[in-house]
Amino acid sequence: MADVLLKGIKKSYGSVDVIKGVDIEIKDGEFVVFVGPSGCGKSTLLRMIAGLEDITGGRLEIGGTVVNEIPASQRGIAMVFQSYAIFPHMTVRENVAFGLTISGASKAEKDQKVAEAARILQMEHLLDRRPSQLSGGQRQRVAIGRAIVRQPEVFLFDEPLSNLDAALRLDMRIEIGKLHKSLNATMVYVTHDQVEAMTLADKIVVLKDGYVQQVGSPMELYHRPENLFVAGFIGAPSMNFLDVDLVSKEGDTARIRSDLVSEFAAPAWRADVPASGRATLGIRPQDLHPVESGGVLHGNVTLSERLGTETVIDIALKDGTRILASLAEDRIFTPGEEIALDFDHAHAHLFAPATAEEQAAAQSAA
């Protein structure tokens, strides 16, 4: 088992910079998830850790050794691919034992290690089948089995569940979580699915355009996003953003208002929130609830979606700005109905002023 340390990691293809200086510290036994929209560089970063991509700049350490120039096979890593990458002409047994066959291990050693991996993954009955006779979930299990047999210091997962259907994805997610607990190995996991990130990770790294946006535990990211992008990216439905004027700011609290928002005091701990002028207010749809009178936001219901356990309502404010509210109950709203909304003011998020494009980009990335 080993720590992984990324220090000023950079990657360029010709004149195109993909990773622009990334520092991440992954502790021994930690489950770290890289998330971000497509093209953010998360897969490239993982492939650099694996040794499948050259590192243009910076230092990569695994278990205290700089591995920039060390070939993939000697880094003590194992990788599970989105496309499974299991060899179609070999049986499951041969696939799982592939690394051992390559290194010339004895048959007894192979049998023992394959049996062990098969027991952990509960796939003893599949060992003599060929990949073409397996379902997607079973194939991914074989790929994970091949990784386990290597007894790596670090497991790398590149969107391992993206090719599976929703039900199987849930099963395999739980499976991978269990595997992490039982092997207690360092795992680095890339996904664009924030549910996977939130449920599996000890630590999430949010990436965008080759930069780290924030590193933290899932709840840190959810409750204290450092910037607008992380706030919009984490959580579904996405956070609502509204432009507001700062009335006053004292310490970590600011009074804000706008034509759409009645004046209230919001926490303003982020360093880049100005003392006066404009700012961007973020409110999670889950924090909003309708009130009979008063309330901070006022508008008309345009659409309501009843999902049984929750009701998502789309509200048009006075000037036509749309916001979402998600209520943890089944409630009937009629389109056009007037509605007043309030929320726990301590849950408001105040960011430096952002353009409408930046707000939309943050919301649509999730």
Partner 1 sequence: MASKLTQSNKAGWLMAFPGIALIAAFIIVPFFLAFAFSLTNQRLASPNPTEYVGFDNYRDLLGLAIFTLEPERGENGQVLRDDEGAIEYPRLRTFTRNNPDYPQLDGKREWFSWQSGENRTVVLASDVVFMRAVVNTFFFVIFVAPVQAGIALGLALLINQKLRGINVFRTIYFMPVVVSIVVVSLLWKFIYSPGDGLLNNILGWLSFGLFEPRDWLGSTSTALPSIIAMSIWQGVGFHMVIWLAGLQTISPTLYEAAEIEGSNKWQTFRYVTWPGLRNTAVLILIVITMQAFALYAQINVMTRGGPLDSTQVFVFQAVVRGYERQDISGGSAISVILFLIVLAISLIQRYLTREKN
Q: Which of 329, 236, 337, 332 is nearest to 289 (CA)?
A: 329
Task: Give the number of residues written for the chain.
Answer: 366
How many C-beta atoms surround the C-beta of residue 266 within 10 A?
25
* Residue 323-362 contact track with partner 1, rule CB under 8 A, x = bound: ----------------------------------------
Indicate the residue among 105 and 265 with the shorter CB distance to partner 1. Answer: 105
Size of interface with partner 1, in residues (CB under 8 A): 26
CB count, 10 Å around CB of 29?
15
Give 185 or 204: the residue with its C-beta nearer to partner 1: 185
Task: State the Rg of the chain over Cα.
Answer: 24
Residue with smaller CB distance to partner 1, 147 or 260: 147
How far does CA 343 lie from the centroid of its chain?
26
User: How far is CA 222 from its chain centroid?
Assistant: 11
103 near partner 1 (CB under 8 A): yes
Q: In the chain, count H helices and then E strands.
A: 10, 20
Phi first, then psi: give them for residue 279, nearest 5 degrees. -155, 170
By CB under 8 A, name the one of 52, 174, 236, 356 that touches partner 1: 52
Q: Which of 14, 38, 69, 89 binds partner 1 (CB under 8 A)?
A: 89
Give min distance, CB of 209 to partner 1, in A: 25
Taking the least distance from each CB to partner 1, the nearer of 187 and 231 is: 187
Among the listed ranges 22-30, 68-76, 226-234, 251-259, the one in contact with partner 1 (CB under 8 A) is 68-76
Please state the closest distance from residue 272 (CB atom) to partner 1, in A.
Answer: 41
Under rule CB under 8 A, residue 102 binds partner 1: yes
Single out the residue of 65, 83, 184, 276 in contact with partner 1 (rule: CB under 8 A): 83
Q: What is the DSSP string of 223-282?
A: HS-SSHHHHHHSSSSPPEEEEEEEEEEETTEEEEE-SSB--EEEE---TTS-SSEEEEEE
Site string for partner 1, 2-31 (x = CB under 8 A): ------------------------------
Residues in CB range of 283: below 8 A, 6 or more apart: 239, 240, 242, 323, 343, 347, 348, 349
Among 36, 37, 41, 51, binds partner 1 (CB under 8 A): 51
Query: In whole angstroms, how far apart are CA 343 and each of 107, 308, 313, 346?
Result: 65, 22, 15, 9
**Is residue 217 within the footprint of partner 1 (CB under 8 A)?**
no
Interaction of residue 264 with partner 1, rule CB under 8 A: no
Taking contact as CB under 8 A, which single stretch among the options 75-83, 161-169, 294-302, 344-352 is the one that binds partner 1?
A: 75-83
- Cis status, amide bond into 160, omega within 30 of 0: no
Among 8, 23, 66, 74, binds partner 1 (CB under 8 A): 74
Binding site for partner 1 (CB under 8 A): 50-52, 71-74, 77-79, 81, 83, 85-90, 98-99, 101-103, 130, 146, 150
